[in-house]
A and B are shown apart, each in its own frame.
Chain A
Amino acid sequence: MGEVAIDKDGKIMRRVIDMRSDTVTKPTEAMRAAMANAEVDDDVLGNDPTALRLETEMARIMGKEAALFVPSGTMGNLISILVHCDVRGSEIILGDKSHIHVYENGGIATIGGVHPRTLRNNKDGTMDLDSIEAAIRDPKGDLYYPLTKLICLENSHANTGGRCLSVEYTDRVGELAKKHDLKLHIDGARIFNAATALGVPVDRLVQAADSVSVCLSKGLGAPVGTVIVGSKSFIAKAKIMRKTLGGGMRQIGVLCAAALVALQDNVKNLETDHKNTKLLAEGLNKIEGLTVDITSVETNIIYVNVCKDSSNTATKLGKSLVEHGILVMPENTFRFRVVIHHQITTSDVLYTVSCLQQAITGVLSEHVA
C-alpha cells in the first residue's frame, strides 16, 4: 500500500511515488544539514571553499586533472562542446537519440554556432564505429565542409532505456577520435549508474574521454548541479564559458555541500535502484496488456509499451496511476517511461505493479505486499 501520513493540518497525505525522472529526488536530512552549515565564499571573485572541495574530489574520482561545478547537465554539455569547438565552422558527431541532440533546445547550434552530425543510435545506445568513421569530414573538402572536432557519447544512454556503453566500446571510440585528431566528450549524466551496472570503476570507464559531464542531481540525489571534468586547460576555458553563459554563481558552497553528501552517501545505493528497476520491469512485463524488453533494462530506466489492441493508452494509464499517487512519464500514446531512484522503495515498486494490474484488468493482483 502507498504509505499514508498526516500533514500539519491533520489531513491525510498519501506518499507520492514520483518516478517521472531521477531528477525529482529531494535533499536528504544529511544534505540539508550540510547545506545549512556549508563554508562559503564568492566563487567568482575567488574560490568558494566547498565548491573547490567538491571539484577536487570529482576530478579525483573521475581520474581527470580538474573539475567545474555547473548548474545543470544541459550547461555541462553545452560548455564542453563549445570549449572543444571554439573555432567557427566546427561540427560534432553524436547520436540521433542523444539527450544533447533531442532535449537541449539545439543550444549547441542556436547559441554556440556548432553544427551537429547525427548518427543512428543502436538499441544498446552505441553508434556503429564504421558509421562514426564515415561521418568524420575529410579535411580535403574544407571548402564546403565544416570541420569535425568532437565525438559525443552518452553513458548511460537515456532514450534507449538507460543502456550502458562498455569500457571496450568507449575505448575504441576514443582510439578512433585520436586517430583523426578529434576530442571525445561523454555525456555522463548517469555515468555512475553505468559504472555500477557494468561493475567497472568509473575512472576506468571514462579513461578515453577528454571531458565528461556528470550529474549529481539525478540518481545521486543532490538538489542541483552537474560537474564537468577534464584537463586543466579544458576546465580553465570551461570556467570562462560558464561565466559567459551566466552560470557563475556566488556562494555556491551551499549547493556543493549537498552534492558532496550525494557523492559520499548515494553512489552505493545505485545497485539497489537497479535491483528495484529489474523487479519493476519483470512485474510490469507479466501484466497482460503491457510489455517491457527485459534484456534492455540495465540501470534505472524502464520503457513500458502498452499493447495496441487493448483499450488502454499510456495517457489513460498515467492518469489512473496518479490517482494512486504514482507519477510516471508518458512518452507517446503507447509508451511510458519509469525511472527509479533512491527515494523509491521496493514496496513502492510492488505497489506500482499492483496498481497497474488493477488499472488494466480491474483485478487486484496477488502482488500486494
Chain B
Amino acid sequence: MGKGDVKLLGLWASPFALRVRFALELKCVDYENLEENFGGGKSELLLKSNPVYKEVPVLLHGDKPICESLIIVQYIDEVWTDGPSILPSDPYDRAIARFWAAYVDDMAYPYMRAIITADGEEAREEAIAKLKESLVVLEDAFVQSSKGKPFFGGDEIGYVDIALGASMEWSKVIEKAFDVKLFDEETTPNLLTWIDAFLAHPAIKDIMPTTDKLFEYAMNFISPPSTKAAATEAY
C-alpha cells in the first residue's frame, strides 16, 4: 500500500483525535481532516469504518480503517519511518513507553472524563483527588523517562508525550471551570515545565485548540445537569 491517500475522521475537541493529528504532523504526513459532527448523528463512513466502537478517531489509509488512538499512533510510526521515531527503538524502552501510555489511558483520562461528567460536587471532588494522585505518579514517570531532557521521549516528543499531552488544554479547561489546580509547583513541578514545552512545539501549537475555544465548547455541557450524555460523547 502506498503512503498517499490518508484521511482522519475526528473531532476538533477530542484529545484522542488530537493524538493522531500530532503524530501525523510530526511525521509530515499529508492528510485530509474530516470533521465529524455528532450533533447531526454519526456519519455512515464512521459507522462503517469503526463498527465495534463507532467512535473517532479513525485513520483511513487507502481504504483501510485503523481505530483506537494509540494503535493509530503506533501504526503511523511503523509506516512513516523516515520521520522522527515516536516510539524508542530499544524493546525495553518501548515497553516502558507503552506502560505509561496505558496508564494515561486507564487512569488520567477516565478521571478527567469523570470530573467533566460528574453528577454532583462530591463525585467531582473524588475524581479530582484521584486525577491529582495519578498526575503525581506521572510526574515521577516523567523524571525517570526524560532523564533531564524536555520530553518523556527525551530530546523529541515521543509516545507518552502524545498520549498525555493531547489532554493538556482539557486539563486547563477543568482548572478554569471548577477553580482547581491539577498541576502545581509543589507536587508536579517537572510536568509544569513539560506542559509549556509540549504546547510550544511546532507540531503541536498550531493544531491544539486554545483554552478559550475549548472552554466555550465545554460550557455547552458542563454546567447544565441534563447533558451528562452529551458530555460523555464530546470527551
Chain B associates with chain A: no
Give me the interface of B with A, judged by CB distance under 8 Å: none
